[in-house]
Structure 1
């Protein structure tokens, strides 16, 4: 079973990820179904255009963002091993700010660049060979069928196998007191395994929903906690 299958309820119509960016005023809400659709589109893109298969190492150089959740879930659905260091990775997915870093690593399967634009606008002037995620992902289907099952022993996050990542996510969900009725307000960054586990994977493992805030305005957070009826908080701000 892939990490995506273990953590994502693909049939849920209730809100799963609500994303805010206080620098742009952006708000977007995704159900479990919609999140699964984006993960499937991403998985199809990675497999069909980037040759990602079980065991492929995929470096993810992206902020805590709803599109990053789709990228991670899509990569794990393919059976990829997600890593933080682009050096030595087979493929790198990055935002505009880290494009030079991604290119300097010269990954053999190339680079996928994300604009993270709220309305799906791509990145102009990308170097030849760099895949523009916003432009290409929309061309792919909302369903994904892996070519082969992903074993629990397959590396999923750095060197940790699927089974260990799932266990860690469940353990952290229990330690943080998350349940399926919780709505978690978070400003955590996902660039470290600990931040990713607490800020995304533990929430998914508990069946809770996430209100993720980027560039948080402390005053807005207090209002948002009430408006979104959050029951738990991660991070500062």
Structure 2
């Protein structure tokens, strides 16, 4: 973490400069048994490719609104940071009909068709796999992104005081996202370079903070678990031990 970082993309850049080989996002889907671990360098590479696709192929510009209809997932984290890099406003669970473009998972494609702009679909299959049959009216993320460039430079510098994120109806600038993430890390008592386990969804600030932004701001990493409630208590404890967890996010209500 660097004190001059003012956007989430800045935080990622500092993490990459400090230690590109360390883990950043480890993802579990406890409905399928999937586990994926991404180092800072690998995650940043996905972000760069996605940002190039967003800025180049999709023609997105700073201030454009992107409805992000995805669950807590490593590819969702990639899209959040790619939007920050380009200056696009990521509206988590946003209204596709009011958005300039939409990114949706396989269970929200019907809803996403309300967007009159560019539409991107994610299969959310293990290892970033593509759809067996591309959904009509959508670009398949897994087809379009791998060939994009590994380095990203925005056409226009991203302003830290511009709106970057909308979650649960609240708009946050890039600087506010960073400041809140740092404050959350301090308030929660995250240790140095924390390894945070989170089973929270991404539809609230708390879920986004524990599941991405606070660990990134604190120079640590996240073990992001989807469908964590399907695990027995003993299995959760075993995961915490095997993943060397140093902080556990609060459990989801209910």
| TM-score (structure 1 length as normaliser) | 0.93
Matches of 1:131 and 1:191 in 2, distance apart? 24
| Partner residue in 2 for 1:228 | 243
SS in 1 for 2:197: strand
Matches of 2:50 and 2:57 in 1, distance apart? 10
| Partner residue in 2 for 1:90 | 100
For residues 113-192 of structure 1, the aligned pairs below 5 Å read 113-158=121-166, 159-192=171-204
Listed as ranges, the gaps of 5+ residues in structure 1 are none
User: C-alpha displacement at 1:63, in angstroms?
Assistant: 0.9
Which structure 1 residue ranges, 4+ long, deviate > 6 Å from structure 2?
none
Root-mean-square deviation (CA, aligned residues, Å) is: 1.7
| Partner residue in 1 for 2:209 | 197
Match of 1:58 among 51, 66, 74: 66
Matches of 1:221 and 1:163 in 2, distance apart? 34
| TM-score (structure 2 length as normaliser) | 0.87
User: C-alpha displacement at 1:165, in angstroms?
Assistant: 1.3
Number of residue equivalences: 235
Distance change in 2, residues 1:193/1:107 (3 Å): farther
SS in 2 for 1:43: helix
Matches of 1:72 and 1:221 in 2, distance apart? 27
User: C-alpha displacement at 1:2, in angstroms?
Assistant: 4.1
Q: 8 Å contact 2:191–2:246 — kept in the other structure?
A: no
User: C-alpha displacement at 1:7, in angstroms?
Assistant: 4.5
Q: 8 Å contact 1:56–1:90 — kept in the other structure?
A: yes
Listed as ranges, the gaps of 5+ residues in structure 2 are 1-5
Matches of 1:106 and 1:120 in 2, distance apart? 24
